[in-house]
Amino acid sequence: MSIESIIVEAAIKAVKQLYNTEVSDKQIQVQNTKPEFEGDLTIVTFPLLKISKKSPEETAKDLGAAIQELAPEISTFNVVKGFLNLSVSEKYWLNAFTTLNNSLPLANPNSKILMVEYSSPNTNKPLHLGHARNIFLGDSVAEILKAAGNKVIKTQIINDRGIHICKSMIAWMKWGNGETPSSTGEKGDHFVGRYYVLFEQHYKKEQQVLIADGMVEKDAKTKAALFQDASNLLRQWEAGDAKTVELWKTMNSWVYEGFDATYKKFGVGFEKNYYESQTYILGKKIIEEGLAKGVFFKKEDGSVWIDLTADGLDQKLLLRSDGTSVYITQDIGTAVDRYNDYKLDGIVYTVMNEQDYHFKVLFLILKKLGYSFWEGLYHLSYGMVELPSGRMKTREGTVVDADDLIDEMIATSAQSTAEKGKLDELSLEEKNDVIRKIAIGALKYYMVKVDPKRSMLFNPEESIDFNGHTGPFIQYIYVRTRSLLRKTAGENLSWKVQTISAKEKELIKKITEFPATIKEAAKLYSPAILANYCYDLAREYSAFWADHQILKAEEINTKNFRIALSKAVGDTLAQGMNLLGIEMPERM
């Protein structure tokens, strides 16, 4: 049992004794004591004043005395205004340390089967900075949910059909001369993306010519010959034309090779892929059922709608008058399919917050259709990555490419690693592995430390830092602990100590908060909570390191205790960072 719950339990009993009133654990507010005050944990007594009918100070004093009586773990207490600061005995902390169990996954009686969807790229463009946030966030949330004791299936839905891929195909047929990624040496997704851009350039010119001839912009868009070609190709694809499907498959396979290379560098993967080419027909049957149930209605032109005005939303189109579906139609179908396939308890959709409305509508429709699983749906809505100039724009060439970004990070990492010169005795392969871990660590940490809900700023002019509140800092602290262990390998490391320093106590306290931090991060779907925890722990250890002797400690028990403490810190950091998708090097 955690010290916090011990205190809460004692406080509930104390209130009963003192004031003869039953309170729930919600009414006992326990928080960490601010560093400028003496104590470890603090009870805020203001909420209890109505019960005690005494001043805050008196209430706190009474409560403190009673709790000290009830919980032997509490050694002393002091009162500042309405704040009851409780000090926990050294004995308790030492015992907590020797009986520490931070192994993952946590035991979870409410374990669930969850699907986490993230990345979900289009097949006409390479991945960019925005995808990077999505991928790091989704992958990390999936790992955190796993660590919290759930069963998790990682998935992506690949947008492999539609007019966008047809555009790339047209451009390649017209101007490709049969070249392939292997013939040009390009990464497949960049190769196909280049043809998409080529299409857009020519298409734009055609429109300008038409507009110069007096056509309005809206008509020019659809009348342009290239657009007509792409639309025709899409129709052929939908009709299953063999040659078209063949080319489509080939070009998509190039893209997948490229994506896989990037995913591999990112260190992420998926257990299951969904392809829109297979899911886009889903949902229509459900629309029929919904019509029969009267959840949906048909307009005169034959289109199908749902009226959500009573819920504060609008009317939403579900099936066009020509019977073709829209995004939300397939999302309905896909969700139902997934639930049936995996007996899921929930789906987490990692999608940018510009889709907030879409998911609100989607979940509401599923609810109205009577699917009880709608309660397990969660939209992990995250903010945009902005540049100093605002949003990334393809047309203005401000898109930050994911592969370029990694390459830059690796170059920076290689440079600073060379400057430090700590890896000189390693093989080239080992060295590159460390360089990669640091580069990816810096990038991932940079993105994952920010509260997902908030939009964040990325300045391409400034390289991502390796000092301060960063991934490499935490990796470095870990490396220090590993260095100690290397130097004492084979020694008898048993210890027995009676007293500990304030910093040692803080470290033990922090380490014991690890499971609660995981739970909190899982509950709020926020890797940022875990990222900041890791940083705090690393920083505390670094301060400890600066004013404590470890290997040179005056006494063997003290030395071995500090080594054990260092190991626990290192292990905890490694576990936490791994959940963020960040690997720890042994040296750096």
Partner RNA sequence: GGUUUCGUAGCUCAACUGGAUAGAGCAUCAGGCUUCGAACCUGAGGGUUGGGGGUUCGAAUCCCUUCGGGACCA
Contacts to RNA from residues 277-306, by CB under 7 A = none
- Cβ closer to RNA: 40 or 160? 40
* Segment contacting RNA by CB under 7 A, of 144-152, 162-170, 233-241, 461-469: 461-469
Site for RNA contains 529 (CB under 7 A): yes
Q: 325: which DSSP letter?
A: B
Q: Spell out, one character per residue from 468 to 507, where the chain touches RNA: x when CB under 7 A holds, - when not.
A: xxx-xx--x--xx-xxx--x--------------------
- Cβ closer to RNA: 20 or 467? 467
Site for RNA contains 543 (CB under 7 A): yes
- Cβ closer to RNA: 244 or 329? 329
Least separation, in Å, of the C-beta of 187 and RNA?
Answer: 27
* Strand partners for 84: 43, 79
Site for RNA contains 548 (CB under 7 A): yes
Among 52, 85, 120, 168, binds RNA (CB under 7 A): 85
- Cβ closer to RNA: 195 or 535? 535
Do the beta carbons of residue 380 and residue 351 sit within 8 Å?
yes
The torsion region of residue 264 among left (phi > 0), alpha (psi -120 to 50) and beta comes to: alpha
* Segment contacting RNA by CB under 7 A, of 188-196, 216-224, 272-280, 457-465: 457-465
- Cβ closer to RNA: 213 or 429? 429
* Strand partners for 152: 114
Site for RNA contains 162 (CB under 7 A): no
* Strand partners for 456: 385
Least separation, in Å, of the C-beta of 37 and RNA?
Answer: 4
Strand-pair category, 41-44 with 346-352: unpaired
- How many of the other CB atoms lie within 10 Å of CB of 406? 18
Contacts to RNA from residues 20-79, by CB under 7 A = 29, 31-34, 36-37, 39, 42, 44, 46-47
Least separation, in Å, of the C-beta of 97 and RNA?
Answer: 19
Site for RNA contains 83 (CB under 7 A): yes
Strand-pair category, 346-352 with 113-117: parallel
Q: Spell out, one character per residue from 549 to 568, where the chain touches RNA: x when CB under 7 A holds, - when not.
A: xxxx----------------
Q: Spell out, one character per residue from 197 to 216, where the chain touches RNA: x when CB under 7 A holds, - when not.
A: --------------------
Distance between CA atoms of 209 and 218, rounded to whole angstroms?
A: 13
- Cis upstream peptide for 105 (omega within 30°): yes
- Cβ closer to RNA: 501 or 532? 532
| Residue 131 structure tokens | 């995808």
Among 213, 424, 547, 554, binds RNA (CB under 7 A): 547
| Residue 474 structure tokens | 């935490």
Q: Spell out, one character per residue from 380 to 419, where the chain touches RNA: x when CB under 7 A holds, - when not.
A: ----x-----xx---------------------x--xx--
| CA dihedral (458, 464, 468, 472) positive or negative | positive
Distance between CA atoms of 353 and 379, rounded to whole angstroms?
A: 9
# binding residues, RNA (CB under 7 A): 76
- Cβ closer to RNA: 238 or 430? 430
Q: Spell out, one character per residue from 306 to 345, where the chain touches RNA: x when CB under 7 A holds, - when not.
A: ------x-x-------------------------------
Site for RNA contains 517 (CB under 7 A): no
Do the beta carbons of residue 282 and residue 157 sit within 8 Å?
no
- Cβ closer to RNA: 19 or 373? 19
Distance between CA atoms of 338 and 284, rounded to whole angstroms?
A: 16
Least separation, in Å, of the C-beta of 390 and RNA?
Answer: 6
Maximum Cα–Cα distance across the chain: 92
| CA dihedral (412, 417, 418, 424) positive or negative | negative
- Cβ closer to RNA: 226 or 406? 406
- Cβ closer to RNA: 213 or 462? 462
Site for RNA contains 463 (CB under 7 A): no
Helices 402-420, 129-147: axis angle to 10 degrees equals 70
Instruction: Report which secondary-structure segment, H or E, holds 546.
Output: helix 527-547
Query: What stretches of 451-524 adopt beta strand conformation (E)?
Result: 456-457
- By C-alpha distance, which of 371, 365, 369, 325 is closest to 346? 371
Do the beta carbons of residue 441 and residue 267 sit within 8 Å?
no
Strands in 41-44's sheet, in edge-to-edge order, are 29-32, 41-44, 83-88, 74-80
- Cβ closer to RNA: 55 or 228? 55
